[in-house]
Amino acid sequence: MEEKIKEIREADFQAEVLENKFAVVDFYSTDCPPCNALEEKYEALSEIYGDDVQFIKIFRQGNRDLAEKLDVTGSPTVLFYDNGQECGDRLTGGVLRSDIMKNLDAMVGESRAEELHSMIKPVETETDVLILGGGPAGLTAGVYLAQAHIETILVDTALPGGYVATTHLVSNYPGFIEPQNGYMLSHYMSEQAIANGVEFRAAVEVNKVDLERKRIKIDGFETIRARKIIIATGSKPRPLGVLGEDTYRGNGISYCATCDAKYYQDKEVVIIGGGNSAIEEALFIAKFASKITIVHQLDHLQANKEAQKKVISHDKIEIIFEHEPREFRKYGNMDMGVVVEDLESGKKRELRTNGIFIFVGFIPNISQLSNKLKVDQWGYLETDIEKRTNIDGVYAAGDVTSKPFRQITTAVADGTVAAIAVGKELE
């Protein structure tokens, strides 16, 4: 498999990359989960495109000068070269197979790309249990299943870890006296699952999910058939659908106070929302920001009374009731605008601020799943006490399920229950 990939050092870069017609370069590191997730895809694609494009690997830490010269600051970073010139996109983090293919296709041209695509053989894989989603719920289920010697494949559309991976500090997960870095906590969960034998398909595209027949198709070529499925796909922030929201998501607009409040030390912030999370997060952000403006559509807050009292009396926090955002604008780094409309008068005005936080709730990640799944009034999956959904052999765990509290501990507990119940059924 591997002979179509050349591992090179800085001295060979000129000859092997710049003097080649087409080349793709993977700067990788050791102890790097996203690099491991990329490795298999890179090898498989080298088998398909390897006669047309030179596939190169460079160990980043061993070739620091070259990495710096090329402005490669993270691993993995995939670069594409056409006749010595960098072309296409730079891919980093959880690199998708389809993104690599898109760039390779652009280099080899449409008709050759079509020929190469026809060489891709479909693959069928069988397993006892397929877990969709690698957050705390899915990873815990994986650990329990693998320890019971039940073959388990875990599929995640991103890198495993779920929300914990993006949470700055976690202070309420038992077993640690000091608050834990969320990324590391999720990393240990993933590594524990891998060490116990869970097979990962990370940063993949899920093309089709057939829950009734227990088959899913990923990355356009692999069909995984399972005896049981556990859905642990979590939830995501509810989009407002306001102009500019997509453009500035993660670039002026944040959904995570724990992750981003620290960047607003002595800065001004606008918060959209008036429920529990908006109010509690406002109090947290107030530890950093110099001024907070809460924009809420109703004429009263909907949070718990205690938090409401604190927010209303807080000298850094102002609340604008009965207004809705209509547009988000960006004028420069940490220079944002929110156009708000007065719901009574219909008048619009712009609030200038340094950053925007949106807290208007979450929606479960079930859009790709069967519409025959039973859901509650908010769209979360209903399960019985052992985490079975209404579809035979399909379980659900974690934030995607209907329940009153969504925390790491409750997701971990759900994953445990689902895995043990699945194990008993498989016996």
Ligand X SMILES: Cc1cc2nc3c(=O)[nH]c(=O)nc-3n(C[C@H](O)[C@H](O)[C@H](O)COP(=O)(O)OP(=O)(O)OC[C@H]3O[C@@H](n4cnc5c(N)ncnc54)[C@H](O)[C@@H]3O)c2cc1C
* Strand 222-231 with 169-170, pairing: unpaired
Please state, in angstroms and rounded to a whole number, the distance separating the CA atoms of residues 301 and 49.
57
Whichever of 77 and 233 has its CB closer to ligand X, that residue is 233
Beta carbon of residue 230, minimum distance to ligand X (angstroms, whole number): 11
Whichever of 133 and 423 has its CB closer to ligand X, that residue is 133
Whole-Å CA distances, 98 to 104, 199, 205, 367:
10, 21, 8, 21
Sole residue written with tokens 């208007």: 360
Whichever of 107 and 282 has its CB closer to ligand X, that residue is 282
Nearest to 354 by CA among 305, 412, 292: 292
Task: Name the helix (H) or strand (E) containing 147.
Answer: helix 136-147
Sole residue written with tokens 């409401």: 308
Whichever of 33 and 398 has its CB closer to ligand X, that residue is 398
Beta carbon of residue 402, minimum distance to ligand X (angstroms, whole number): 12
Whichever of 107 and 165 has its CB closer to ligand X, that residue is 165
Whichever of 169 and 195 has its CB closer to ligand X, that residue is 169
Beta carbon of residue 411, minimum distance to ligand X (angstroms, whole number): 3
Whichever of 156 and 341 has its CB closer to ligand X, that residue is 156
Alpha helices in 255-339 (DSSP H): 257-260, 276-285, 305-313
Which residues contribute to the site for ligand X (CB under 6 A)?
132-138, 155-158, 160, 162-164, 167, 170, 172, 206, 232-234, 256, 258-259, 365, 368, 398-399, 406-409, 411
Beta carbon of residue 248, minimum distance to ligand X (angstroms, whole number): 18
Beta carbon of residue 168, minimum distance to ligand X (angstroms, whole number): 8
- Give the burial string for 109-123 (b: 16+ CB within 10 Å, else e): eeeebeebeeeeeee
Beta carbon of residue 205, minimum distance to ligand X (angstroms, whole number): 9
Beta carbon of residue 255, minimum distance to ligand X (angstroms, whole number): 7
- Give the burial string for 34-44 (b: 16+ CB within 10 Å, else e): bbbbbbebbbb
Task: Name the helix (H) or strand (E) containing 126.
Answer: strand 123-132
Nearest to 288 by CA among 306, 301, 271: 271
For residue 400, the SS3 value is helix
